[in-house]
Structure 1
Amino acid sequence: MSYRSLPLVSMDSLAALEESLDGQTALSRGFVGRYVEMWPLRYARLCEALSAGQWDEAKESALSLFSSSVMVGADRLGQMSGDLVEMLNQERQEQARAAMVGVGQCGQETIAELTERYVQHAS
Structure 2
Amino acid sequence: MPLVDSGILEDLEEQLDGAELALRFARDYAAMWDQRYRRLALAVENQDRASALDAIISLRITSAMVGGLRLARLAEMLETVIRQGDFGQGQAMMGRVAEHGDRTVSELQANYILKNE
> Partners in 2 of 1:103 and 1:110 — Cα distance?
10
Moved over 4 A (4+): none
> Partners in 2 of 1:25 and 1:15 — Cα distance?
8
Q: Secondary structure at the match of 2:2?
A: coil
Q: Secondary structure at the match of 1:121?
A: helix
Partner of 1:84: 78
| Structure 1 stretches lacking a partner, 5+ long | 1-5
Q: Secondary structure at the match of 2:115?
A: coil
Partner of 1:103: 97
1:1-123 correspondence runs (5 A): 6-22=1-17, 24-122=18-116
> Partners in 2 of 1:109 and 1:95 — Cα distance?
22
> Partners in 1 of 2:116 and 2:29 — Cα distance?
18
Partner of 1:3: none
Aligned-pair identity in percent equals: 33
Q: Secondary structure at the match of 1:120?
A: helix
State the TM-score, normalizing by the size of structure 1. Answer: 0.92
1:56, distance to aligned residue in structure 2 (A)? 1.1
The one-letter amino acid paired with 2:14 is E
| Structure 2 stretches lacking a partner, 5+ long | none
1:122, distance to aligned residue in structure 2 (A)? 3.6
Say what the alpha-carbon RMSD is for the aligned residues.
1.0
Number of paired residues?
117
Answer whether contact 2:49 2:83 (CA < 8 A) is retained. no
The one-letter amino acid paired with 1:104 is A
State the TM-score, normalizing by the size of structure 2. Answer: 0.96
